[in-house]
Structure 1
Amino acid sequence: MQTYQDGLAALGDPTRRAIFELLAEGPTPVGELAALLPVSRPAVSQHLRVLTEAGLVRVRAEGTRRLYHLDPAGLAAVRDYLDRFWARALADFKTAVEES
């Protein structure tokens, strides 16, 4: 599964990270995101497409609006990937402390 790699790559862009962080507060339409960022609405749409393709964001229709929100499955894949490194770092720390 490439979701964690795609997700990490997608979050490498500062504007996409800002959008991702805004979506962590709740579902939001493109217009509201664009109003909060120093980029155009079309640029926000493009960034949302990348985040969606990376599996980090989903979109749902609500009336005439399209609301974007974080995708728990994509977030879980990225977290699982990073947790492997965190578990290793904790194990190494424990070993270092025990050897002191």
Structure 2
Amino acid sequence: MVTHFEKSPTFSDDQVDRIFRALADATRRDIVRRTLGEEATVSALAALYEMSFAAVQKHVSVLEAADLITKRQQGRERLVRGNPDTIRAAQTLLDDFELIWQGRISRLDTLLEEEPR
């Protein structure tokens, strides 16, 4: 029995790549975590890291391109908020992968049990 991975209909392969590349960086994961609960300005985020404001802006841009955060302007400030919908969809993809691997391991266990000793 072969199990095929059903790709999420909401994401293209390119979008999936952008999401997981963005989440591969610890600073970007931290920015998402911090902004899921409440909005933060880019300036406030930049103050949390030992890097330049421009570097934090670049991280925010990568996250925005992956739709992991949304950014809006309020006066002179840019407010950043984590996008829980994209996080949930990414979790669904990971759950799908987990099911695939659980199925493969189960089939391997069955084969090993059937093998003569």
TM-score under structure 2 normalisation?
A: 0.69
* 1:4 corresponds to 2:28: no
Equivalent positions of 1:22-41 (< 5 A) are 22-41=34-53
Paired residues for 1:5-20 under 5 Å: 5-20=17-32
SS at 1:24 equivalent: helix
Long gaps (5+) in structure 2: 1-11
Residue of structure 2 aligned with 1:57, choices 32, 48, 69: 69
1:3/1:78 contact within 8 Å kept: no
Question: Which ranges of 4 or more aligned residues in structure 1 deviate by more than 4 Å?
Answer: 89-96
Which residue type is aligned with residue 34 of structure 1? Answer: A
In structure 1, what is the Cα distance between the partners aligned to 2:74 and 2:97?
39
Unaligned runs of 5+ in 1: none
Distance across 1 between alignment mates of 2:76 and 2:30: 25
* Structure 1 residues 12-56: Cα deviation after superposition (integer angstroms, max 9, x where no partner): 112212222222231111111011111111100000000100111
Structure 2 SS opposite 1:68 = strand
| Count of aligned residue pairs for this structure pair | 98
Per the TM alignment, residue 91 of structure 1 is displaced from its structure 2 partner at its CA by 5.6
Residue equivalent to 1:70:
82
SS in 1 for 2:37: coil
